[in-house]
Amino acid sequence: MNNCILMAEIVQDPELRYTPDNQTPIAEMWVQFPGLREEDPPAKLKAVGWGNLAQEIQQNYHQGEQVILEGRLHMITFDRPEGFKEKRAELTVQRIHRLGATGTLTTATAMPTAAPMPSVSSTSPTAGETTPKTKPAKAPTAVKPAPQPKVPAYSAPPAADPTDYDDIPF
């Protein structure tokens, strides 16, 4: 199974182009992510989105943003002008999520909306009355798991009566 999840920074604004045959949109962008060690330079990778996702990437994502990319990683080979072939890794994006400035995750795909809260009807206070103050909700208490009885992982059945000897040993 080829599945890759990568947290990276967009280095170049996404470019939108179309295939010549059926005009399918393709968005290409360069992303970078830190090396494994502190002294390693950041690694760069081309990320490609197809179809409606390509249009969404081009419209909603820009250089400098932190994103989480989900997709398939593969190697492409192409001819260099210098006369040799080069292999490069490329990520075909299937989902993209934006990371906020505080590290919060916002996704680009549509999420189901929560059920609307019932409205509370209120009456305006008359002269001499004050508006009722609401109390903040208490934080939910942590649920402790029920203690599990200590049972050995394996218990052998009791030994057979050793005094019962049979004439035939098998």
Per-residue model confidence as pLDDT tens for the chain (170 residues): 788 999 999 999 999 999 998 889 999 999 999 888 888 898 899 999 999 999 999 999 999 999 999 999 999 998 889 989 989 999 999 999 998 765 555 555 423 333 333 333 334 444 444 444 444 445 545 555 555 556 555 555 555 555 666 677 66
Domain count, the chain: 1
Length of the chain: 170
Global pTM reads: 0.56
Q: Is the dihedral of CA 87, 5, 33, 96 positive or negative?
A: positive
Task: Identify the pLDDT of residue 15.
Answer: 92
Q: Is residue 3 part of a domain?
A: no
The runs of H, that is alpha helices, within 44-137 are: 52-60
Task: Identify the pLDDT of residue 103.
Answer: 56
Q: Is residue 140 part of a domain?
A: no
- Report d(CA 109, CA 101) in Å as an integer: 19
Q: Is residue 21 part of a domain?
A: yes
Task: Identify the pLDDT of residue 47.
Answer: 93
Kindly provide the residue ranges of all beta strands, DSSP E only, lying in 60-141, ordered along the sequence.
Answer: 66-79, 85-99, 105-107
Which CATH number belongs to the domain containing residue 29 in this structure?
A: 2.40.50.140
Task: Identify the pLDDT of residue 115.
Answer: 36
Q: Is residue 46 part of a domain?
A: yes
Domain extent, residue 20, equals 13-66+98-103
Q: Is the dihedral of CA 69, 73, 77, 80 positive or negative?
A: positive
